[in-house]
Amino acid sequence: MLQPGTWLDASPLDALPLAAAALALGYLLGSIPFGLLLTRIAGAGDIRAIGSGNIGATNVLRTGRKGLAAATLLLDALKGTAAVLVAPLLAGGAAGAADLGLLAGLGAFLGHLYPVWLRFRGGKGVATFIGVLIAVSPLVAAGFGVVWLAAAFGTRYSSVGGLSASAATPVLLWLTGQPRAALLFAVLAAITWLKHIPNLKRLAAGTESKIGARGTKAPAADEPA
């Protein structure tokens, strides 16, 4: 992935531990379940027992606590941003260290989706996706926001907003001359769509919850938390 003269050029035995450390750092940051922690601290119970059972901001909003939902959204995004910005420090400022940030971003995204602390049952990843994107390309992150707002509030479905914006992101990154980041986000977008298969089925059936709807029912057995 990196060109000669970067931190990878010295020796694979030196580079692989750095790459593994970046992935691990990102995963640990991404696996912090802020939605679950915040709702418990606030006395709102176990977020996994209501609505979709998801630990993300959209489901936290179904508790009726808008402040908690906003805090969850912000923190889930920031853990992705932090992973991308901190990981390059592992290479001590060597050329190409930004690629460690991309690896850490992947780790943060996977950590949010599959946190070891919750038996690998996490969120859908949209907030962490945008957090990683903010660190990689603020301009494209702004484009993500425009697409998300247009799709989500045009349809009143949060899932439509997230899926539309995630699909647009690799294209925008490619058009702005960032092929490596475009490749990473193509992978993240594909995973995002796979995680939203239950949402797509509910959209087709007309049973998907709309933005702002409160829910008290636990998730169906085939719906990922």
The lowest-confidence range among 13-27, 111-125, 133-147, 207-221 is 207-221
Q: Map out the domains of the chain as residue ranges.
A: 15-205
Q: What is the pLDDT of residues 88-114, one digit of tens each?
A: 888 776 656 788 999 999 999 999 999
pLDDT value at 141 more than 80: yes
Instruction: Give the position of tokens 């994107």.
Output: 133
Q: What is the pLDDT of residues 27-82, one digit of tens each?
A: 999 999 999 999 889 888 888 888 777 888 878 888 878 888 999 999 999 999 99
Residue 5's contacts (CB-CB under 8 Å, 6 or more residues apart) are 95, 96
Whether pTM exceeds 0.85: no
Name the residue among 180, 191, 179 with its Cα closest to residue 110: 191
Q: Which of 184, 60, 174, 176 is nearest to 132 (CA)?
A: 184
Q: Rounded distance, CA 73 to CA 203, Å?
A: 23
d(CA 203, CA 220) in angstroms, rounded, equals: 15
How buried is residue 146: exposed, middle or buried, by Cβ count under 10 Å (0-12/13-18/19+)? exposed
Mean of pLDDT over the chain: 85
181-184 contacts at long range (C-beta below 8 A, 24 or more positions apart) = 181/102, 181/136, 181/137, 184/102, 184/105, 184/106, 184/136
